[in-house]
């Protein structure tokens, strides 16, 4: 372990279905030494895969084919290695991974060992776009950096407070109990982070706030209802397939359609699952790309692009209305992640004609938004509409550090 004057450097690895974010944070102070993101990883898109890599404020962008997440991580580690040769402070002492779906095995951060790996392997089918990727990267790190500790932080932990009436499916009770089926909820690390940042920004106590958080990413997206600092519902369900229209995932769908297609096409369950997770959503409707940013570029001249955009927006609005009903109006509406912070057009369409829910956007503030936390609500809006960049990596590092010092109190600085 490193000496106290140097701190503990944690390399956070955060995989999305088509992205890989990484940061080296010096804990416990939280200074960011390295950060980067690989986008359009292993997907069909109009633009080439790209890695944005920032070291001590110096940014470089590399366009390179990234066939999968292992290729993205390999390239990131290669760049970190180059940086380390120039600056001895650029190093990492432990890995911390975001893990999407642990089933009911884990509800708190854990250190990776043989037992944890065995249990994680059983969860691979639960989130087929994420869990196998993350599991392979954990194995990759274990093989390449055998002496480096690894911690896993779970995306679902925040949603363990969802009440039974929202977490229970209308299925036979014996089946539900046998297979431990319930709404799990996802993007919990992000929803928790932006909730806390929004309340800090507005100088409000989270225990008194009703919040709707929209985590809108280029891969997965979800909406979360939060009351008193606790998750009360999430648009994703037992798996990340439920909810919004996403890049390659269908989101909510009539189960009868699934059975009908299986019958007509003689698809196996595995083939059907692959269609719902990897060939549907934006890609299924638009076909030319699974990236909503490409859809927005084309929607004024392409009918299917316009259709895909409208479907995406309408699904988000439906969940906003549902969660406003649950909360009896929201005090705060948050937009976060790559699409939530990066697309003023998307925010404008989602919030259009929502004044009956107390939501009103200031068009000029929305268009002018560039970075950081910003209030883009109109003066007469009952609900504060905020853009809040998420920082899942910081929260993952904090959780891993807490677990590290509980394992080894001598690491406390």
Report residue 19: phi and psi, to 5°. Answer: -145, 165
Burial degree of 200 (CB within 10 A; 0-12, 13-18, 19+): exposed
Give the pLDDT confidence score for residue 58 in this predicted structure. 86
Give the pLDDT confidence score for residue 5 in this predicted structure. 44
Residue indicated by tokens 């002496």: 147
Task: Show the CA angle centred on residue 409, arms to residues 408 and 410, nearest 5°.
Answer: 90
Contact of 51 with 57, CB cutoff 8 Å? no
How many other C-beta atoms are found inside a 10 Å radius of the C-beta of residue 81?
Answer: 10
Give the pLDDT confidence score for residue 376 in this predicted structure. 98
The whole-model pTM stands at: 0.85
Dist CA 321 CA 368 (whole Å): 26
* Element (DSSP H or E) covering residue 140: helix 131-144
Pick from 273, 253, 248, 230: nearest CA to 126: 273
Give the pLDDT confidence score for residue 1 in this predicted structure. 39
Distances (CA, A) of 56 to 25, 60, 128, 233, 371: 11, 11, 35, 38, 19
Pick from 129, 141, 69: nearest CA to 101: 129
Give the pLDDT confidence score for residue 207 in this predicted structure. 96
**pLDDT by residue for the chain (413 residues), tens digit each?**
344 445 899 999 988 777 889 999 999 998 999 999 998 887 666 677 888 999 987 888 888 888 788 888 888 998 998 888 888 889 899 999 999 888 878 888 999 988 998 999 988 888 777 889 899 899 888 888 888 999 999 989 899 999 999 999 999 999 999 988 999 999 999 999 999 999 999 999 999 999 999 999 988 899 999 999 999 999 999 988 999 999 999 999 999 999 999 999 999 999 999 999 999 999 999 999 999 999 999 999 999 999 999 999 999 999 999 999 999 999 999 999 999 999 999 999 999 999 999 999 999 999 999 999 999 999 999 999 999 999 989 999 999 999 988 766 555 55
Give the pLDDT confidence score for residue 3 in this predicted structure. 41
DSSP state string for 174-207: HHHHHTT-------HHHHHHHHHHHHHHHT--GG
Query: Domain 8-158+392-411 carries which CATH code?
Result: 3.30.420.40
Q: Please determine whether the domains at 8-158+392-411 and 188-387 fall in the same fold group of CATH.
A: yes
Which SS3 state, helix, strand or coil, does residue 69 take?
helix
Structure tokens at 310: 């409208």
Give the pLDDT confidence score for residue 44 in this predicted structure. 64
Q: What residues act catalytically?
A: 155
Structure tokens at 27: 């804990």
Extents of the domains making up the chain: 8-158+392-411, 188-387
Give the pLDDT confidence score for residue 6 in this predicted structure. 59
Pick from 152, 228, 236, 150: nearest CA to 188: 236
Give the architecture-level CATH label for domain 188-387: 2-Layer Sandwich (3.30)
How many other C-beta atoms are found inside a 10 Å radius of the C-beta of residue 22?
Answer: 24
Dist CA 16 CA 114 (whole Å): 25
- Which sign does the torsion angle of CA 383, 384, 389, 392 carry? negative
């Amino acid at each position: 372990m490193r000496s106290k004057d140097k701190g503990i450097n944690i390399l956070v690895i955060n995989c999305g279905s088509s992205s890989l974010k990484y940061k080296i944070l010096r804990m416990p102070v939280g200074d960011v030494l390295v950060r980067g993101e690989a986008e359009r990883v292993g997907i069909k898109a109009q633009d080439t895969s790209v890695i944005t890599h920032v070291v001590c404020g110096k940014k470089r962008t590399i366009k390179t084919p990234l066939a999968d997440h292992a290729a993205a991580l390999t390239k990131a580690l290669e760049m970190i290695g180059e940086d380390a040769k120039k600056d001895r402070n650029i190093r990492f002492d432990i890995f911390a991974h975001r893990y999407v779906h642990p089933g009911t095995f884990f509800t708190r951060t854990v250190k990776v060992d043989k037992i944890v790996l065995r249990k994680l392997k059983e969860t691979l089918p639960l989130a087929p776009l994420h869990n196998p990727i993350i599991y392979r990267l954990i194995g990759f790190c274990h093989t390449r950096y055998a002496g480096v500790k690894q911690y896993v932080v779970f995306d679902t932990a925040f949603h363990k407070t969802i009440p039974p009436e929202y977490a229970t499916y209308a299925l036979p009770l014996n089946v539900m109990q046998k297979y431990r089926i319930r709404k799990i909820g996802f993007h919990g690390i992000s929803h928790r982070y932006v909730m806390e940042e929004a309340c800090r920004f507005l100088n409000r106590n989270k225990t008194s706030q009703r919040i709707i958080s929209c985590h809108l990413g280029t891969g997965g997206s979800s909406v979360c209802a939060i009351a008193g600092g606790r998750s009360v519902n999430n648009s994703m369900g037992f798996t990340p397939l439920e909810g919004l229209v996403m890049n390659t995932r269908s989101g909510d769908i009539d189960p009868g359609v699934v059975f009908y297609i299986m019958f007509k096409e003689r698809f196996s369950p595995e083939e059907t699952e692959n269609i719902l997770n990897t060939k549907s959503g934006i890609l299924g409707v638009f076909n030319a790309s699974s990236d909503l940013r490409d859809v927005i570029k084309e929607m004024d001249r392409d009918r299917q692009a316009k259709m895909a955009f409208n479907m995406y927006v309408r699904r988000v609005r439906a969940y906003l209305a549902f969660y406003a009903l649950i909360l009896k109006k929201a005090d705060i509406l948050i937009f976060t992640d790559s699409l939530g912070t990066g697309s003023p057009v998307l925010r404008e369409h989602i919030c259009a004609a929502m004044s009956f829910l107390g939501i009103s956007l200031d068009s000029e503030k929305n268009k002018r938004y560039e970075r950081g936390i910003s209030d883009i609500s109109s003066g007469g809006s009952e609900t504060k509409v905020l853009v809040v960049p998420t920082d899942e990596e910081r929260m993952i590092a904090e959780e891993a550090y807490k677990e590290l010092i509980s394992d080894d109190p001598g690491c406390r600085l």
